[in-house]
Every structure is written in C-alpha cells, then in structure tokens.
Amino acid sequence: MSFERSSERAYRHGDAGPAVAEIRFKLVVLGLLADLSAPLSGTSTAVFDDDTDRAVRAFQQQRGLTVDGVVGATTYHALDEARWRIGDRILFYMPARLQAGDDVATLQQRMLDMGFDCGRVDGLFGVETEQALREFQRNVGIPADGTCGPTTFKALDKLARTVVGGRPHAMRESEAINRAGPTLSGKLVIIDPGHGGADIGVSGHGLDEAALAYDLASRVEGRLTLTGSSAFLTRGPDGDLDEVDRAGFANAAGADLVISLHVDAQANPQAAGCATYYFGNDRIDHHSSVGERFADLVQREVCARTDLVDLRAHRKTWDLLRRTRMPAVRIEPGYLSNPGDAARLADPAFRDVLAEAVVAAVQRLYLPPDEDAETGLLHIPADLRTGAGRPG
C-alpha cells in the first residue's frame, strides 16, 4: 500500500485554496478537467470537488499510480512531470537531480524505437539516456554532446518517424538473465521491507504492515542465503527510507534483483488476496519484461502454495520500481483489513510458506527457458534403458 508521509501535505476531496487551484489548473492543461468549471491559478476559493476527484483518479489510473484520489507528493510530482512536451526545454544529464518528465520519456521511446539502448523508458534523464543520446548524435552526424537541444530535436523529428528498430532494452534484460546462469550462487538480491520507523503502513486485526514486512523480509533473506546468493535488507527493524533512497541503495549495490514486501488494506473488508507489481507504463506501452516474468512466477508460486486469492501481476510506476536499474517487484500478499488474510499472516508457519514461495520464484527466474523440456527429458533415459535391455 502506498503512503503519504505525515510531514507532506496531501490534498483530497473537500479541500480548498490556492494549492487546489494549482492542481485543478494542471488537470485542465492535461485535458482531464473541463476548462469552464476550473477557476485558474491563484484562486483561493478553488474547491477539490467531485470533478477534481474523478480527474485525479483518471490521471492516477493512466500513470500507473495508486488510484486513491489523493494528491500527495507522488501524484503531485507526476502531475508536474506530465506537462513537459519534447522541445519544451533542453534535456541533459544532471547527476545531482535527474530531469524528469514526459519529454524525457518521449526521447527515450524514440531512441529505443531506432535501436539506441537507453535502458528503461522511465522518464528520467540518467547516464544511460545520455550515452544513448551521444550514440544517436554520432550516428546522425551532429555534435555528440549528450545534450538534447534544438539540433537534436530536429534530427529526432526527421528520423523517428521513418526508422523503426528493435526493442533493445527488453532483449538486453532477458539476455542478462540468461547469461547469469541457472544458479543463485553469486546473485545479489535486495529485499525491501516496506515502510518502517514512524511510518507503520497499513494496520488491521492487531498487525501492522511495517513489522510484518520486516518479518517476511527476514524469512526470505534467510532462505535466499541458503541457496548461495547474497541478500541484503534495505532497512533494519525500525529504519525508514523513502522509495527513492531504497532504489538508490539497490542501484549502488549493483543488485541483480529487488523484492519489495508490503501488504494491503482497504475500507472494504471483503478485499483479499495476493498481488505483485512490476515496472510498466500502459500509457506508453512499455514495461520491464523480466519484472513481468518474475511477478508472474511469484504469483504462481504463492497461489500454488497458499489459498490466497490470485489478484495477479500488474504494472506500476512507483518510484522503487521505476528508479531501480534491475528487475524489481513489489509483493502484497494479503489484506490486513480482511479477517481471513490477517489470520493467515498472523501465523509464522504461513509466513514461512510465503518466504519459500518467493525464493522458489527467484530460483525459477534463473532457470534457463527450456528448463521444462529438460525436466521432461529426464524420463527418456529410463525408456531407452528398457528398450536397450531387450534382446533384439
């Protein structure tokens, strides 16, 4: 479950004032809110009404964010990023504070379509985007300065419409997994217990999310270590980091895989089951293929070993999934607001089964794609032996 830090101001249905006017203005610019009913910026009487609530939810749905109608830091930043169109500003690599926006995503998408590997289409102008841009500039014979200004915009415009290459990022991700080989030995897996410290996440039936996530993470860590891989947790039992820092930790460690653990809760106590999320953006039809495969494996293993309802794998653009440079998933095995799920999660034996399911999914991720065929082949030697033993 996503969270708003208590120090952050969040705006929702019923709020009024200049900040609400600004939010409404951004929604109007994006075409999600009708112009006529929107008092423009600076109006202290602007109200977060039903239409605003609907527009915010539609925006969150489009962007792969948590759809709750609340404009906290995450949704606010996403609204801000959404206003940039390619050509609006000069784009370049700023290590201290990466430029973020739809213009960066468009640049990345165009380069990928032409076969220049800039990594994920995450809308962040990082070092891979700069390298791909230099490569592109060299190829079209303009100064390879890694800065996307007027000359590059023109070149992109001319070429992007005519040249269509492959999907180098998807291929590279899968190749990295295949190259890594079928054992877990030497793999570095970052396990991220959600929330922590003052932020306990959701709670219900005597359980809280932060403590539960930490307990689950420790169980996964112990089992992963037995397989010969290295596993690190992003936080201690009481630690707290925001999602950007957690992603930064995984990137700095050069992890092979990131597994974030949360649980969910809803006002409706009927809501129950396990869902897994991976990086993906339906708006531009881009996702992490290995993230998707791993999320599917987690769902398969968890739902085969437990009676949790299968809520399947879904694409999200949450910071931890978006800013990590390696496949990352967030698993939410159950709802604390549901009596049945909460009772299951309260049982340490059940949490052990969940941890085993997660580790089984990690092992399957690194098996070669033809593993099923090889399993089938194991029966053949016996048949051959029987045949060979018979006198001709």
Nearer to Zn ion, 64 or 194 (CB): 194
Extended beta strands in the chain, E state: 188-193, 203-204, 207-208, 230-233, 257-261, 274-281, 286-287, 310-316, 328-333
Nearer to Zn ion, 11 or 335 (CB): 335
Nearer to Zn ion, 209 or 301 (CB): 209
- Cβ 33 vs Cβ 52: under 8 Å: yes
Nearer to Zn ion, 277 or 366 (CB): 277
Q: How far is the CB of 74 from Zn ion (least distance, A)?
A: 13
Residue 159 identity: L
Q: How far is the CB of 304 from Zn ion (least distance, A)?
A: 24
Q: How far is the CB of 209 from Zn ion (least distance, A)?
A: 5
Q: How far is the CB of 261 from Zn ion (least distance, A)?
A: 9
- Cβ 102 vs Cβ 92: under 8 Å: no
Nearer to Zn ion, 201 or 327 (CB): 201
Q: What angle do CA 243, 245, 249 make, to 5 degrees?
A: 115
DSSP strand pairing (274-281 vs 207-208)? unpaired
Q: How far is the CB of 330 from Zn ion (least distance, A)?
A: 8
- Cβ 124 vs Cβ 98: under 8 Å: yes
Nearer to Zn ion, 262 or 322 (CB): 262
Q: How far is the CB of 4 from Zn ion (least distance, A)?
A: 11
Burial of 241 (0-12, 13-18, 19+ CB in 10 A): middle
Question: Which residue's Cβ lies closest to Zn ion?
Answer: 262
Q: Mutual orientation of helices 18-29 and 50-63 as an angle, nearest 10°? A: 60
Q: What angle do CA 170, 98, 30 make, to 5 degrees?
A: 80
Contacts of 349 (CB under 8 A, 6+ apart): none
DSSP strand pairing (203-204 vs 286-287)? unpaired
Nearer to Zn ion, 46 or 191 (CB): 191
For binding to Zn ion (CB under 5 A), which residues are involved?
1, 194, 201, 262
Nearer to Zn ion, 1 or 55 (CB): 1
Q: How far is the CB of 342 from Zn ion (least distance, A)?
A: 15
The three-state secondary structure class of 36 is: coil
Nearer to Zn ion, 1 or 358 (CB): 1
- What distance in Å separates the CA atoms of residue 318 and residue 331, rounded to the nearest whole number? 13
Q: How far is the CB of 212 from Zn ion (least distance, A)?
A: 10
Q: How far is the CB of 173 from Zn ion (least distance, A)?
A: 26
- Cβ 191 vs Cβ 217: under 8 Å: yes
- Helix, strand, coil percentages, rounded to 5, for the chain: 45, 15, 40
- What distance in Å separates the CA atoms of residue 169 and residue 118, rounded to the nearest whole number? 7
